[in-house]
Amino acid sequence: MKAVLLDKPAPIEETPLRYSEYDVPKISDDEVLIKIKACGVCRSNLNVIEGVYSRLGIPSLSPIIPGHEIIGLITETGSNVKNLVTGDRVGIQPLYSACGVCEYCLSAREHLCPNRLITGETVHGGYAEYIKGKNNYVYRVPKELKDHEAAPLFCPGVTAYRAVKQANLTIGKTAAIFGIGGVGHVAVQFAKMTGASVIAVSRSKKNLELASTVGADKTIPQDDNLVQEMKKIGYVDSAIVFAPSQEAIDRAQRITKPGGTIVLGVAGDVRKLLFFFEKTIKGTAIGTRHDMKEVLKIASTNKIRIVTNTYPLQQASEVLQKLKGGEIKGRAVLIP
């Protein structure tokens, strides 16, 4: 099969990816083989490729096929697979599999399993023509969704959904969402579904426009005037941060009301947290299998709009360079 391989991490401008022939994966009894139709391009793919994660001590296979928002058709099933058949259209999310027996797996928090495998990091991902998946970790895709629209549900979709669930939003509350890229513009839509009023915060004028078109009640530039501006409008009950910036994290803390919640979907420091304001800070990362199924159910009723642009798989390297340069609106999706 054709695949995009990373032998050794390096800045994307140095073109560390190679498009070449690779063996089609061989499945075991509880696995399925999937012919890939679409795979989204995520900033965390770039972190794997450029070695950001390996410097944080997160291991990766070498060589590795990146990519973790995958849609395809099942072409083969292992002898123990009873829940899926050849021809099923399915997806794979970043959580490739988990051990099934640890305290996290046994309490429906398998995304925290210490023995979890991550698609495109510790096992081969979706920048290829085929991938194999574990039968209990692939998800049927509703027929209402097109391949390229469905692929991003498997990372931005589930990530945004879980972050919004962590933010305790209900009707009458207000939320600020920092960072309106592939994940943020989906988070705006899930946050609106809770009945809360949603303020989108971004450095990019283009992305603030995107936030308005997907339903944000208000948009505010992420700059030095933000805290003053928010003081006039009124601080928020919850803030969710997807902007990879320490300033965004600091400002999110400042514009959240006492007793409020700040949800972090990016790396950074929590500084000057004044205990007497009783603010809660939570991390959020990908989602469980249950979260993933809920996202697909909601998306099947056309309630979620993901802005996508498709590119041929061979162009993975160019697309990642564009992503790094902030030139991708919504989500880029590779088609093998």
Binding site for Zn ion (CB under 5 A): 42, 44, 98-99, 102, 105, 113, 155
Q: Which two tokens stand for residue 244?
A: 């990879």
Q: Compute how many other C-beta atoms are within 10 angstroms of the C-beta atom of residue 126.
A: 34
**Shortest CB 80 distance to Zn ion, Å:** 20
Nearer to Zn ion by C-beta: 25 or 156? 156
Nearer to Zn ion by C-beta: 42 or 263? 42
User: Any long-range contacts for 185-188 (C-beta under 8 Å, 24+ apart)?
Assistant: 185/210, 185/211, 185/214, 185/306, 185/307, 185/330, 186/152, 186/156, 186/157, 186/160, 186/161, 186/304, 186/306, 187/160, 187/163, 187/240, 187/242, 188/214, 188/215, 188/216
**Shortest CB 95 distance to Zn ion, Å:** 11
Nearer to Zn ion by C-beta: 197 or 288? 288
Check: CB of residue 242 under 8 Å from CB of residue 181. Answer: yes
Nearer to Zn ion by C-beta: 25 or 287? 287
Q: Compute how many other C-beta atoms are within 10 angstroms of the C-beta atom of residue 233.
A: 13
CB contact set of 26 (below 8 Å; sequence gap of 6+): 132
Nearer to Zn ion by C-beta: 25 or 265? 265
**Shortest CB 109 distance to Zn ion, Å:** 9
**Shortest CB 55 distance to Zn ion, Å:** 19
**Shortest CB 110 distance to Zn ion, Å:** 6
